[in-house]
Amino acid sequence: DAGVIQSPRHEVTEMGQEVTLRCKPISGHDYLFWYRQTMMRGLELLIYFNNNVPIDDSGMPEDRFSAKMPNASFSTLKIQPSEPRDSAVYFCASSPGREDNQPQHFGDGTRLSIL
């Protein structure tokens, strides 16, 4: 079975540009999560969706960040305008159900570098 698929794997862009990260969750998974990993803050949850509806976006750092899930098989995380401090690895994860013991399955991440 295909796991969580993220694209692109690497993105290098200049400050001020719009960045769009993409995620395809595992089919049948009702929950989708976006995380950011940095040296300073480790792995932190940005936002998560249940059945395509955003449930908790309290981890989104600023209004420059936005996330959408137009259907069950696709989500985007957008940064506009991007800044050098947004450089990080962004992970998408999905899980099948609402019970907390159901593990989240992670994609391999997008390494974002803002120059």
Partner 1 sequence: DQQVKQNSPSLSVQEGRISILNCDYTNSMFDYFLWYKKYPAEGPTFLISISSIKDKNEDGRFTVFLNKSAKHLSLHIVPSQPGDSAVYFCAGTGFQKLVFGTGTRLLVSP
Instruction: Kindly list the residues in this chain that would bind partner 1 in the complex (CB under 8 A).
Output: 4, 31, 33, 42-45, 48, 50, 55-56, 91, 93, 95, 98, 100-101, 103-109
Q: Find, among 86, 99, 100, the residue nearest to 12 by Cα.
A: 86
What does the alpha-carbon distance between residue 2 and residue 98 come to, in Å, rounded to a whole number? 21
Instruction: Output phi, psi for 71, to 5 deg.
Output: -155, 175
CB of 16 to partner 1, least distance (A): 28
Q: Which CB, 10 or 85, lies closer to partner 1? A: 10
Q: How far is the CB of 106 from partner 1 (least distance, A)?
A: 3
Backbone angles phi, psi at 11, to 5 degrees: -140, 125
User: Which residue number, 31 or 65, has a Cβ lying nearer to partner 1?
Assistant: 31
